[in-house]
């Protein structure tokens, strides 16, 4: 087990618009968020429906899940007021959200209860919880239907605890909602209910050659680099065009990968090879030059995979399991966190599994990486609160 002291991108398999995909789910489903027609907890993957026309553009927050199909339509299931269809009715199986056919990426965060979808025109649409203006529409009103955020050049967005970070196709970074602890990348603690640019840099985009006009294949790259759970409990992480990982925020348990709290963005280590990152509530994980790393705490469930249930702020723990092509982290309250790395189609996980999070048919907890679901053809995996959604070729 390698340990990397505060110095941390591997290529994923190519995604083609001609490929077809199927969705699978396991773990504890809240309000039908696994899309399996029930609220049953599963310790092994169960296929969501029988269709194979899904894309890898998916997100889940543990209460609701959204996914884009190859025809550009947006689908959702789970808690009703978070679906974006204007109702409060829970759905335990996928339903189409609206009638548009030009969606390219969808984002969410388990700690935020709000969602984001971007179409091929670069329009950013949002719905859900609007605490401290985190939806960015100039108000504090919650929305059960989609509302548009001003602008038509958005590329990616995601939220954490009452704040949002987003990037535009010109490489500028924008933040809004709560600015407490500097989490919105503004070098201040000011709150905003509408998007405000973070500094003047134009390098805040880890996939500068993937604008929204590229269709859902570009959306896959956006979510890989920008991350589904981009922000944790008062922390934020962003990868820039040079492959550098930057962090700011409270850093209560070391979720930024840094040894201390920082009001302004600081680079995590010196590496320029970051490709993926995800965050739990207080922890994080990511891929750097094909190596998989975890960091943060409290690690009471063993989700860091460092062989212990302890952690040190500012220490990044490497999993010596192969070349990583993806990362995922649940956002359940500690100690129920579980992390996964995708090693070229094979999933290895570590952490608490009383809710079936390991996906290998057991509820056995681990503090070191063990193989999850037995097959070796997984394309992508994302974490909710106590569940995971994963996709493989159809």
Q: What is the pTM of this model?
A: 0.94
Mean pLDDT, residues 154-173 taken together? 90
Q: Where are the domains of the chain?
A: 2-393
Q: What mean pLDDT comes out for the span 251-271?
A: 94
Task: Give the integer Cα–Cα distance in Å for 55 and 38.
Answer: 23
Tokens of 192: 């905003």
Say which residues have a Cβ less than 8 Å from residue 209's Cβ, sequence separation at least 6. none
pLDDT tens for residues 316-358? 999 987 899 999 998 776 788 999 999 999 999 999 999 999 9
Q: Confirm if 13 and 326 have CB atoms less than 8 A apart.
A: no
pLDDT attached to residue 227: 65
**Closest among 328, 326, 344 to 287, alpha carbons compared:** 326
Distance (Å) of CA 165 to CA 152, 239, 297? 16, 12, 23
CB 298 within 8 A of CB 19: no
Each residue of 351-381: pLDDT tens digit? Answer: 999 999 999 999 999 999 999 999 999 999 9
Check residue 244 and give its pLDDT: 94
The pLDDT score that the predictor gives to residue 10 is 30
Decide: 154 and 104 in contact? Cβ < 8 Å: no
pLDDT of the residue at 4: 37
Percent of the chain at pLDDT exceeding 90:
74
Confidence of residue 231 (pLDDT cuts 50, 70, 90): low
Quick one: pLDDT band at residue 29, thresholds 50, 70, 90?
Answer: confident
- Average pLDDT score over residue span 295-320: 96
**CA–CA gap between residue 2 and residue 168 (Å, rounded):** 36
Ordered DSSP codes for 345-373: TEEEEEE--TTSTT-SS----EEEEEE-S
Nearest to 270 by CA among 237, 243, 238, 292: 243
Predicted local confidence at residue 158, as pLDDT: 85
- The stretch 197-226 carries a mean pLDDT of 78
pLDDT of residue 349: 97
- Nearest partner of 251 among 314, 327, 309, 300, judged by Cα: 314
Mean pLDDT of the chain: 89
Q: What is the CATH number of domain 2-393?
A: 2.130.10.30
């Amino acid at each position: 087990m390698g340990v990397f002291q505060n110095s941390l991108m591997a290529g994923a398999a190519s995604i083609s618009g001609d490929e077809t995909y199927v969705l699978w789910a396991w773990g504890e489903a809240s309000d039908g968020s696994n899309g399996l027609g029930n609220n049953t907890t599963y310790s092994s993957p169960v296929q969501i429906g029988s269709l194979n026309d899904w894309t890898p553009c998916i997100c889940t927050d543990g209460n609701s899940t959204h996914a884009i199909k190859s025809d550009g339509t947006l689908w959702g299931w789970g808690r009703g007021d978070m679906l974006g269809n204007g109702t409060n009715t829970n759905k335990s199986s996928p339903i189409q959200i609206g009638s548009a056919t030009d969606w390219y990426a969808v984002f969410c965060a388990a700690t935020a209860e709000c969602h984001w979808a971007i179409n091929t025109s670069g329009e950013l649409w949002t719905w859900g919880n609007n605490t401290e203006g985190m939806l960015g529409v100039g108000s504090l009103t919650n929305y059960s239907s989609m509302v548009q955020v001003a602008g038509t050049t958005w590329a990616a967005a995601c939220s954490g605890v009452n704040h949002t970070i987003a990037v535009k196709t010109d490489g500028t970074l924008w933040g809004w909602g709560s600015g407490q602890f500097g989490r919105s990348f503004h070098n201040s603690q000011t709150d905003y209910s509408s998007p405000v640019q973070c500094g003047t840099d134009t390098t805040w985009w880890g996939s500068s050659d993937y604008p929204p006009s590229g269709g859902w294949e570009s959306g896959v790259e956006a979510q890989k680099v920008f991350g589904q759970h981009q922000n944790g409990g008062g922390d934020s992480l962003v990868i820039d065009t040079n492959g550098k990982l930057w962090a700011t925020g409270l850093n209560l348990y070391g979720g930024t990968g840094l040894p201390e709290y920082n009001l302004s963005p600081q680079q995590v280590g010196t590496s320029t090879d970051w490709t993926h990152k995800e965050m739990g509530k207080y922890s994080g994980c990511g891929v750097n030059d094909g190596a998989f790393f975890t960091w943060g705490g409290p690690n009471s469930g063993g989700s860091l995979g460092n062989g212990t249930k302890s952690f040190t702020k500012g220490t990044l723990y490497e999993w010596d399991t192969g070349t990583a092509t993806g990362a995922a982290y649940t956002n359940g309250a500690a100690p129920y966190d579980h992390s996964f790395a995708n090693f070229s189609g094979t999933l290895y996980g570590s952490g608490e599994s009383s809710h079936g999070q390991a996906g290998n048919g057991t509820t056995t907890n681990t503090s070191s990486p063990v193989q999850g679901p037995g097959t070796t053809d997984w394309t992508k995996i994302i974490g909710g609160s106590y569940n995971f959604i994963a996709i493989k070729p159809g």
